[in-house]
Amino acid sequence: MIKEIFLALILVVPAAMAMDANSSDIRAAYVEINGGGTYSNSSDLSLFSSLSTVSGAAKAGNKFLCLGYLCFSLEQINIRPTVTFILGTNATDTERAAVDEKSAGFYWPYELNKYFACVEDAGVTNTPTFGIVFSGQQLNYIEIENTTTNYILRMSQIEEDNKFLLPATVGGCSNIGSKLPMFTLSPFVPGAEQANSIEMFLSYPFVDIIGNYQKSGKISVVLEKNNTNQIIVDVI
Amino acid sequence: MKGFAQAIVAIAITVGISIIAVNTIMPIINEEKSMQSFQESKNSLSTIDEAVRQMLLESVGSRRQIDIDVRSGRLVVAGDEDKIKIQMEGYKLADPGTTIQEGDIQIRTSGLVDAAEQDIDGDGNIDLVLNNSLVSFAVRKIGNITNWSSIDTSSIITQIMNRRTNTTIMPTSGIMINDKAGTSLGTGYTTLTETGINIPSASILVFMNSTSGTQYEALFTLSPATDFVELEIKNLKNA
C-alpha cells in the first residue's frame, strides 16, 4: 500500500523533480523506470531522506539519482575550466611558507580568509617575500607542498576573469595578508618612485584583439568582427 | 604732477592685479583643460568598449567606425595583450603603481618600465626581461609567432628579482588547465608585447599549443612602481 501511495506521488510530481535536479553543473539526462527491487549497483548511489532533498543533494560523482522506482541518469555539464599556476622555490633554513598564515597543505576557499600563498625569508634584511596572490573571480584551491629542499606553491582558480599576482616584495607574508582583499591594485609596499602619467585601458582576455597601433589626434577606429571571438582593430 | 604720479600708481596697481589674476587663473584653466581631456579620453574608450561588446553578440563581418580625438595622449592598440589603451602625460591621480577600475576601464598610474631581450642569467640563451624600480622578471625566449618551439611551463620563468633586497629566485613554475599535466607543455612561443626604455607598461606573452590539444595564452605584465607581476591566462581553446 505504501508503495502504491509513493508511486502515485511520483507520478504526480516527476516533471517538477526532473527540473529540480538540474543545476549549472548537473542535469538529469533522461528518466528510466526500473523494474522494481533494489538497484543492482546500489553501492554507488546516494540515499535521500525525503523528496524535498532531491533538488540540491546530488553530487557530481554520482551516476544515478533514484527515487523508489524512478531513476535519473546524471551527467556533468558546463563544468567551468580552471587554470592553475605553480611556483616552486628552494627552501633555506630561514625560509617559511604559508597559505593565509596557515602551514603547508591543501586548502579549499572556505578554509581560508585571505587567498594567497607565499614564501618569506626572515634571515635576509627586510624579509624578501615571494608568492601567489588571488586576484580573479573565483578561487578553486591553494596548496603549498613542503619538501626537504623546495616549497611548491600551487593556486587554482576558475578561468573566467582569472588573475594571479606574483609579488616580489618585502616585510613577510603577514604584510601581504594585511593588504588583502585588494579592491584597488596597488603595491604591497610602495617604492619611492614618482609618477605623473597615466594609462587607461580596456582589457579583453576573452577576445582576440588583432592590431598594433599607436596614434594621437583625430583618429578613426575601425572595428571588424573577423571570427566568433576575434576583432580586428584598424586605426586611420 | 601729483595727478600724473597717481595715474602711474593706478596703472601699476592695475597691471599688478592683472598679473596676479592671470597667474591664479591659468593653472585652473589648464587643470580644467586637463580634466576635460581626461574625461574625453575615458568617453572615447567607453564608446569603443560599447561597440566591441555589441559586436561580440553580432554575426561575423559586423563593422563599426568610431571617430575620436585623442588630443593630449595617444591611443595604443596592443593586439598581443588584447588591450586598447590611451596613454596620457602630466596626470597624477593616485600613488604610483595603483590601478583603479572605473566600469570596464582600468586606469593605471604610470612610471617607468623597461622591456628588453637579454641573457639575464648568463646561460647563453636570450631572455625576455621586464624591469621596474622594484622588480625584475624574466621569461626564456622561445620560438616566435611563425616558428613554434617546444615549451615546458615548468621552466619558462628564468628569474624573479626583488630589487629592494637584491634577492633573486630562479623558480620552477607551471601552468595547467583543469589540472591536466598535458596542458603544461607543448609547442608555442614567448614574446615581449613591447620593447623599450621608460615605457608605461610591458608584458610577456606565452602562447601554448599543448600536447593535450588545449591552446591558451599566458600574459605576464609588469606595471610601473608595482612590486608584483600580474598573470592572466586568456584565449583558452579546447579546454
How does pLDDT run across B116-163, given as a tens digit for each residue?
A: 999 999 999 999 999 998 999 999 999 999 999 999 999 999 999 999
Judged by DSSP in three states, A43 sits in helix
CA distance B57 to B61: 12
Top-confidence range, A16-25, B94-103, B220-229: B220-229
Task: Select the residue of A121, A163, A223 nearest B64 (Cβ to Cβ).
Answer: A223
Q: Which residue of A has its CA nearest to B70?
A: A217
Q: Is there a contact between A138 and A108 (Cβ–Cβ < 8 Å)?
A: no
Q: Summarize pLDDT for A144-170 with one digit per residue, the tens.
A: 998 888 999 999 999 999 999 999 999
Contact B134 A191 (CB under 8 A): yes
Contact A224 B63 (CB under 8 A): yes
Please report the pLDDT score of residue A205 as a whole number.
86
Q: Summarize pLDDT for B63-116 with one digit per residue, the tens.
A: 999 999 988 888 999 998 899 999 888 887 777 778 888 889 999 887 788 999
Please report the pLDDT score of residue B30 as a whole number.
57
Strand-pair partners of A145: A152
- Which one of A201, A215, A220, A235 makes the best mutation probe of the B interface by having the most chain B beta carbons within 10 Å? A201
Contact A196 B63 (CB under 8 A): no
CA distance B162 to A173: 15
Q: Summarize pLDDT for A71-102 with one digit per residue, the tens.
A: 665 554 557 899 999 999 987 777 888 898 89
Contact A186 B64 (CB under 8 A): no
Could you tell me the end-to-end alpha-carbon distance of chain A, in angstroms, rounded to an integer? 81
Write down the domain spans for chain B: 113-237
Task: Select the residue of B75, B90, B226 nearest A215 (Cβ to Cβ).
Answer: B75
* Residues 170-199 in B contacting A (C-alpha not used; CB under 8 Å): 171-179
CA distance B5 to B224: 60
| pLDDT cut 70: percent of chain A above it | 67
pLDDT above 80: residue B177: yes
Task: Select the residue of B42, B52, B92 nearest A223 (Cβ to Cβ).
Answer: B52
Kindly provide the b/e burial profile for residues A142-156, where b requires at least 16 CB atoms within 10 angstroms of the residue's own CB. bbbeeeeeebbbbbb
CB pairs under 8 A between A and B: 327
Contact A162 B232 (CB under 8 A): yes
B60 and A CB contact within 8 Å: yes
Residue A220 pLDDT level (bands cut at 50, 70, 90): very high
B83 and A CB contact within 8 Å: yes
pLDDT above 50: residue A187: yes
pTM for this structure?
A: 0.74
Q: What is the β-pairing status of strands A105-107 and A70-76?
A: unpaired
Task: Report CA torsion sign: B15, B20, B23, B25.
Answer: negative
Mean pLDDT lowest for which of A124-128, A175-179, B70-74, B202-206? B70-74
How high does pLDDT run on average in chain B? 88
Task: Select the residue of A193, A217, A229 nearest B225 (Cβ to Cβ).
Answer: A193
Q: Which residue of B has its CA nearest to A224?
A: B63
